[in-house]
């Protein structure tokens, strides 16, 4: 069965390139390694990433981690999209190590994705692992499939949100979250 390198070589040939020229000799190998790295989220599980970084705590106020950089690949064109994730939750008896929130974002970003699904996946993973009173996730991203091809709109950003529990059901909680996330940057 042909591997990634064989397919990359065939793509180069279909584009009219010579895969045996100096600059392209190792390209199939490099592309394979790049895609393995860029899609390593398939080998990761959010619950395992969080692991035992859950701590009993009576804190019942919102915890927000803003501006978590992420990089992903659009599943429609396999072109990059990248941006920032803003993730929040209200604990219900336990908190999570802050770096774990960024790692959960990476679990889902490092897969072929659509931004809408990724937003829901991050929120749902936090709900499943933390059992919080609520979760809010906002992703802001620029998509190369809109920037480099098609409509070619370099300045556009896509914003998606996923609200669970009190973030969805309580307007004051939702407003506080959005105010903290945007912090006057709108």
C-alpha 135, offset from chain centre: 16
Active-site residue flag, 86: no
In the set 5, 77, 131, 182, the catalytic residue is 77
> Is 128 an active-site residue?
no
Catalytic residue among 75, 116, 128, 175: 75
From the list 76, 116, 128, 175, the catalytic residue is 76
Judge whether 152 counts as a catalytic residue.
no
Distance separating alpha carbons of residues 42 and 69, to the nearest angstrom:
19
State yes or no: is 115 an active-site residue.
yes
Helices then strands, counting H and E runs in the chain, come out as 8, 7
Is-catalytic flag, 7? no
Catalytic residue among 74, 86, 113, 140: 74
Rounded to whole angstroms, how far apart are CA atoms 72 and 109? 5
115, 121, 140, 176: the active-site residue: 115
User: Nearest-CA neighbor of 100 among 44, 60, 178, 36?
Assistant: 44
Q: Which of 110, 101, 100, 93 is nearest to 135 (CA)?
A: 101
The residues annotated as belonging to the active site are: 74-77, 115, 143, 145
């Amino acid at each position: 069965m042909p591997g990634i390198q064989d397919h990359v070589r065939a793509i180069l040939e279909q584009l009219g390139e010579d895969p045996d020229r100096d600059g392209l000799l190792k390209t199939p190998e490099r592309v394979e390694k790049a895609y393995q790295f860029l899609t390593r989220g398939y080998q990761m599980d959010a619950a395992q990433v969080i692991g035992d970084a859950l701590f009993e705590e009576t804190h019942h106020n919102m915890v927000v981690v803003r501006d978590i950089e992420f990089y992903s690949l659009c599943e429609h064109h396999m072109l990059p999209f990248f941006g920032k994730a803003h993730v929040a939750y209200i604990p219900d008896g336990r908190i999570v190590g802050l770096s774990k929130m960024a790692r959960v974002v990476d679990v889902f970003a490092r897969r072929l994705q659509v931004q809408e699904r990724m937003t829901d996946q991050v929120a749902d993973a936090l709900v499943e692992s933390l059992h919080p009173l609520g979760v809010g996730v906002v992703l802001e991203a620029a998509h190369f499939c809109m920037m480099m091809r098609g409509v070619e709109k370099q300045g556009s950003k896509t914003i998606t949100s996923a609200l669970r529990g009190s973030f969805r059901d309580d307007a004051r909680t939702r407003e506080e979250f959005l105010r903290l996330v945007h912090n006057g940057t709108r």
